[in-house]
Amino acid sequence: MNYIFYFLVVFSIIIGAINGRLQDVINAVMSGAELSVKIVISLIGIMAFWLGIMRVAEKSGLIKFISRLLRPITKVLFNELPFDSPAVGDIAMNFTANAFGLANAATPFGVRAMEEMQAVNDKKDTASNSMCLFLGMNTAGFQLIPTTVLAVLVAIGYKNPTEIIAPTLLVTLIAFVSAVLMAKLAQYLAGRSKVNDKTP
């Protein structure tokens, strides 16, 4: 990726020089650098705000309450895990943080969930079905509120940043459901394959 970015920059400078528009290229670089700083500062503010909200929600027990609501669904999806596995709670909390667009807040819960699932994994060198499903869910990234994207749109002066909420919800919901279905289908097919291999 670094090589591609470097190539694009050098190529732009060369083409700009050939066409006599090198000053335009330099101006674009400078204005882009200025805009990136504004976006970063805006992101720091919005992330600090939402991470603070998440911290308050965690301390007040709201996150645990939401996790308890999601726990029955989590148990159905991750039916391979022991009934009292702490991974179930971490998965629910990870999902909740991701749903509010707070990937940074979700990461510790996700890492802890993976560690707990690995602890009960029979094949230590192979990801379990639960781990694959959890990875698929995180990759799909279901979001109720795309906090980071909203912060970027506000920073660049977009007039109506909230209009992306409905499309984002729809797209991430479809991706999330697809990831869960595909993971469960792969798990079912793998189970059928093992049964057929054992059949004399």
Inter-CA distances, 84 with 28, 87, 89, 141, 147, Å: 57, 9, 9, 26, 33
Inter-CA distances, 95 with 2, 91, 120, 127, 139, Å: 32, 6, 21, 20, 11
In a domain, 47, yes or no: yes
* Spatial separation of the C-alpha atoms in residues 143 and 172, rounded to whole Å: 6
Q: Give pLDDT tens digits for 59-113.
A: 887 767 776 777 788 878 888 887 777 787 788 888 877 887 777 777 888 888 8
Question: Structural domain tally of the chain?
Answer: 1
SS3 72: helix
Which domain does 160 fall in, by range? 2-194
Predicted pLDDT of residue 198: 57
In a domain, 38, yes or no: yes
In a domain, 183, yes or no: yes
Q: Give pLDDT tens digits for 143-176.
A: 887 777 777 787 777 788 888 888 888 998 999 9
pTM of the entire structure? 0.66
Predicted pLDDT of residue 178: 92
In a domain, 200, yes or no: no
